[in-house]
Chain A
Amino acid sequence: DTGVSQDPRHKITKRGQNVTFRCDPISEHNRLYWYRQTLGQGPEFLTYFQNEAQLEKSRLLSDRFSAERPKGSFSTLEIQRTEQGDSAMYLCASSLPRTVSGNTIYFGEGSWLTVV
């Protein structure tokens, strides 16, 4: 499979625990995005990498959230001291560099987080 892959697909954790999600983008895609989606809502932008540089972070990304892309390939999203409000699907997406004709962003299957 050469699509965007995310791991784990589902995670149930107790409030206060830390969780980490991993995203492997499509190879040669240098742009990688993290989104969060709750039921009945569209995906909300969290952060965006171009290669290993984190270029933008949403104000939704509190100090409990951190994302890395150390070698410009896979990325991790860590949530520390989870709260029930963190329960959501965390979507990763990747794309090629912006071209004149535009870019298409490809999404992974998402990682469902349930905080109990």
Chain B
Amino acid sequence: EDKVVQSPLSLVVHEGDTVTLNCSYEVTNFRSLLWYKQEKKAPTFLFMLTSSGIEKKSGRLSSILDKKELFSILNITATQTGDSAIYLCAVESGGRFVTGGGSNYKLTFGKGTLLTVNP
């Protein structure tokens, strides 16, 4: 069974701190790893990573994937109170069926890291 494990499960920091969130996985037929931010509603997409060692950056957020060690990290620098949310890691796995058409791509989520940024 595919597994995605995030750590820590919760984290409390002060504004201006830098945080690193971890995600490790064990899946069959890895396709990609995605990071989502979830506030009170549905998850919103942050990054998709498919290749090892290539950092993706968006403002104060950055992420990198290590396919050999099967993990990813999400960094947030100079945290702000608006960064408070649950950060979800998800791994896409699966592939196309050899016969009959179709595919069985699936997204498996970790439990998330609850980040609280205090002023």
Tell me the A residues contacting B by CB distance below 8 Å.
Answer: 31, 33, 35, 40-45, 48, 50, 53, 55-56, 91, 93, 98, 102-110
**B109: A residues at CB distance < 8 A:** 35, 42-45
Chain B interface size, under 10 / 10 to 19 / 20 to 34 / 35 or more: 20 to 34
Overall SS of chain B's interface: strand
Q: Give the distance in Å from the alpha carbon of A50 to the alpha carbon of B105 in the complex.
A: 10
Nearest chain A residue, comparing its CB with the CB of B105: A98
A-B contact count (CB 8 A): 64
Cβ of B117 within 8 Å of any chain A Cβ, yes or no, is no
13 contacts between A and B (CB under 8 A): A31-B105, A40-B112, A42-B90, A42-B109, A44-B109, A45-B108, A48-B106, A50-B103, A102-B31, A107-B42, A107-B44, A110-B41, A110-B42
Tell me the B residues contacting A by CB distance below 8 Å.
Answer: 4, 6, 31-32, 34, 41-45, 48, 50, 88, 90, 92, 96, 102-112, 114
Q: Give the distance in Å from the alpha carbon of A93 to the alpha carbon of B108 in the complex.
A: 13
Contact A43 B43 (CB under 8 A): yes
Contact A56 B104 (CB under 8 A): yes
Q: Give the distance in Å from the alpha carbon of A72 to the alpha carbon of B72 in the complex.
A: 35
Q: Give the distance in Å from the alpha carbon of A87 to the alpha carbon of B106 in the complex.
A: 23
